[in-house]
Structure 1
């Protein structure tokens, strides 16, 4: 890809700009431009599309997205050291890359891009889960994003796509799969990164469904699921005591045995439970 866009290899970019990865920022740079190109292709055809990238670092994935035809890329980077390298990418793709120095948790992407937006990011490990939770919990659904293609530690990725009955199944799985198609699209070993992290990584791809698989108030569902998994080793009749009233009756109405634990409950049952809680509250 370096020959395609006229830009130097990423190792040279990092050396030129002194971009040693910072542990405090959760940085692990992916330097293989073939891999970044593979990730950029996961969302599908990006021709003319708007893309939000979080934590572009030296710009490897950014270059992949632009080479795949993204019409506009908004890259949010907290590390000011990376800005000169990203400016070089912007110069190679005039008018197609906007770089904002800032915290992705505080930047309003909709002030810079018009939906639908594809979110593609090698997320900094220290903010990845919080960003995902926000993207899964917008004020309105369908959301402003057309897809999420996100790099996580493999353990987090497994939690997003987990099925009931296992230790990985939890709040993230319920929130993601309740109204998205979620899959692991690519797995990467530690040695693919500089510096190598202690764990493997994986890219998760999520596409929003037109509406949730089962009806439920999203805030009530999030609260109930959070309460259930906060004490996942306890039986639900105990972990959900905070709901007040006759918890066992609520569980029974949702088709859930009060002696079950959260990891045994399907998303459809959690949705039914959330509806029961909401109906009791409104009556």
Structure 2
């Protein structure tokens, strides 16, 4: 019986199954198993956790997760061309890898996972941000996941960890930092991928907080932040005038100068404002 150590190199798997990466699916494959193992280790101890992996492709990161001792991996793959390659891995690790052919945006994975759950993925570029926002904005908190360890374009990773006053600071920064502790743990050049993308990439680790940093209704906070940054060059009294007629007074009550712009406002101030505007 095959084991992880006796599986063929990923380059051969891709050739055998004709797995040319497709731009339409946001695919860029990682072929270096030393690198995929390093990414898996950024998620911490995997031995007692179920792992959700989105877009495993030919299974480089999947192998890394299993080799690092993941209790079980649920791999969600939209591209059916990858399924035979993933089956080889499943056969080498009986009972530890379940592969579902599905669009991650349409699938509720909870029925297939047993807590504790960690999400580890080289996310397809075309759905990565949308999936992250969904994972950060459930109605109830704590979420189903303990941590997220995710590959993004470097620009997106910088937005997740950005602080007030920087050009990268925005809606994604606030949503991530309100309910989690995000940090960039690994940078990868284009040459690490096949085919090489036009931009650098980075792995971000987000550890879920037991409760949000500051109290606020998540829907109100999301609406306030979205309005503020949709017109980030405007003063907040203009960008948020659609919230309520007396927005200037409500901004001042939250400790915000109405002439400030969104990129200068802290998370704590946005939460205070969300508590002080109509729901």
Q: TM-score of the superposition, structure 1-length normalised?
A: 0.96
Identify the residue that residue 184 of structure 1 maps to in structure 2: 184
| Post-superposition offset of 1:204 | 0.4
- Equivalent residues in 2 for 1:4-23 (5 A)? 5-23=5-23
CA contact (8 A) 1:5 1:92 kept: no
Deviation at 1:176, TM superposition (A): 0.3
Q: How far apart are 1:245 and its partner, in Å?
A: 1.6
Matched residue, 1:139: 139
Question: How far has the Cα of 1:3 moved from its partner?
Answer: 8.5
Aligned residue for 2:183, secondary structure, equals strand
Q: Deviations over 1:158-191 (max 9, x none)?
A: 0000000011000000000011000001000000
Query: Residues 20-62 of structure 1: CA distance to partner in whole angstroms, max 9, x if unpaired?
Result: 0000000000111011000101111101310000000000000
> Are 2:75 and 1:75 equivalent residues in the alignment?
yes
CA distance in 2, matches of 1:129, 1:4: 31
Give, in whole Å, the separation in 1 of the partners of 2:182 and 2:111.
27
CA RMSD of superposed structures (Å): 1.1
SS at match of 1:242: coil
Unaligned runs of 5+ in 1: none
Structure 2 equivalent of residue 210 of structure 1: 210
- Gaps of at least 5 residues in structure 2 are none
The equivalent residue for 1:85 is 85
- For residues 271 and 13 of structure 1, the distance between their equivalents in structure 2, rounded to whole angstroms, comes to 49
Does 2:112 match 1:112? yes
Q: Tell me what 1:253 maps to.
A: 253
* Matched length: 278
Q: Does 1:166 align with 2:169?
A: no
| C-alpha separation in 2, matches of 1:3 and 1:114 | 25
Shift of 1:115: 2.2
